[in-house]
Every structure is written in C-alpha cells, then in structure tokens.
Structure 1
Amino acid sequence: MQDEMMDLMDVSNEIQETLGRSYNVPDDIDEEELMGELDALEADMDFESNSVPSYLQPDKETDLDSELNLPAAPSGHAAIPANRQQEDELGLPTVPHASIRT
C-alpha cells in the first residue's frame, strides 16, 4: 500500500513540475505586434478562396463507395445454428434442467 502511495506521489510531483515549467514567454508581449500578426493571418485567409480555409472546402475527390462496388450491408438478424447451445439473459450458456436438483 505504501509503495502505491509513493508511486502516486511521484506521479503527482511530475505533474506539478510539468505544470510549473516556464516556456520562456517574454513578460513584455507587444499587443500591437500580435494584432498585426492576426491581421496578416486574416488577410492570408481572404486571399485563399474567399476566406474559406482548405480544410473547410468541399472535397474534390470522386465518390469512393460507388467505385469500390461493395455489397449491401446485411439487414435483420443472422440465423441461429440448430446445434447452438441456449443462452441466458447475460449471454452465458444455460444450465441443463437434468443437472438441477430440486
């Protein structure tokens, strides 16, 4: 039990170290410079296909399902083989009545 607690403490310490890590972000971030970069990105998006990024544009590929000629998916339930053992409500094999003593 103590070993498990020590392992949990180690994991907790590792998480705390990761969260407390500094990523060298400068303290004096120039907001005007960031807004300029944002404006440049927006202008880039306006330049590309009327403000629609490529990942939002419709696919230009053909319909692959029609090309594959796959059979239709089966509908309904599969037939149960005659030699299959009966199952209870949990999906377990049922106990034969001959083995139950009353």
Structure 2
Amino acid sequence: MIDMMDISNEIQESLGRSYGVPDDIDEDELLGELDALEADMGQETEGEGVPSYLQPDNEPDLNEELNLPSAPSGHAVPSGRVNNQAVDEFGFPAVPHASLRN
C-alpha cells in the first residue's frame, strides 16, 4: 500500500510541475492573434468559398505552350500483326515453365 502511495505522489508531482509556460498570458493578445488568423483564412477563401490554392489556374495550358502531339489512341499493335506470346489469367505475358526454378 505504501508503494502505491509513493507512485501516486510521484504522479502528482510530475503533473504539478511548471513546464516554462508563463503565468502572465495576456488573453487579449491571444484573441487578437486569433482574429488575425481568422482574417487570413477569410482572405484565402474569398473566391466563392474555395481557397486560392484550389482555384483553377489563369495561365495558358502547358500542352499548348509546348506544342506536343496528342496522345495515341486505339490499338498499340497494327491490325496486320498478331501477338503470339501466351498470356496469363491477368493478361500479362506468361513466364515459360522452363525458366522457373524449383
């Protein structure tokens, strides 16, 4: 029972320590900082409630700037060629059984 009391006292002492927090915190100053943060947040979300970093860019499209060709569409292999490679159940090229090690 004495051990439990000692442990309880140690816990109470550690909880009662001061960790460098000043006792004279000015609540008006803290409220002023909070108001300033709210104002900053309000400026970010003025554009219809969407933050500036989520609003669409007003810059020209990068693809138009670089004059890149469009991405290919359709089949990768011309229709005259046939792929004779075996595929597994997932559609990947099958590994020959002779190359598997036991």
TM-score by length of 2: 0.41
Which structure's CA Rg is the greater one? 2
